[in-house]
């Protein structure tokens, strides 16, 4: 399945330490989008994309 990221040019993806969230860094729109990961692997938005200057890399902290 394809899931829209709500931003432009998703450059990197990263999982949260507990694997419950997936983050997408959207380089051209300077945003980061978070998704909840369902038990079946489905993705649902976890809110609106967050502003992030120069969003090219995502590194969730524990």
Would you state the pLDDT for residue 59? 83
The tokens of 14 are what?
């990263």
Would you state the pLDDT for residue 2? 87
The tokens of 55 are what?
């969003």
40-44, long-range: CB within 8 Å, 24+ apart, which pairs?
A: 42/1, 43/3
Tens digits of pLDDT across the chain (62 residues)? 789 999 999 999 999 999 999 999 999 999 999 999 999 999 999 999 999 998 888 888 77
Task: Judge whether 43 and 59 are in contact, CB under 8 Å.
Answer: no
Give residues with Cβ within 8 angstroms of 38, minimum separation 6. Answer: 44
Give CA angle at 52 (8, 25), nearest 5°: 45
Would you state the pLDDT for residue 61? 78
Would you state the pLDDT for residue 62? 75
Would you state the pLDDT for residue 27? 94
């Amino acid at each position: 399945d394809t899931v829209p990221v709500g931003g432009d040019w998703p450059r990197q993806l990263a999982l949260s330490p507990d694997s419950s969230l997936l983050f997408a860094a959207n380089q051209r729109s300077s945003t980061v989008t978070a998704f909840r990961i369902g038990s079946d692997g489905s993705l649902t938005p976890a809110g609106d994309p967050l502003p992030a200057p120069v969003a090219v890399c995502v590194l969730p902290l524990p």
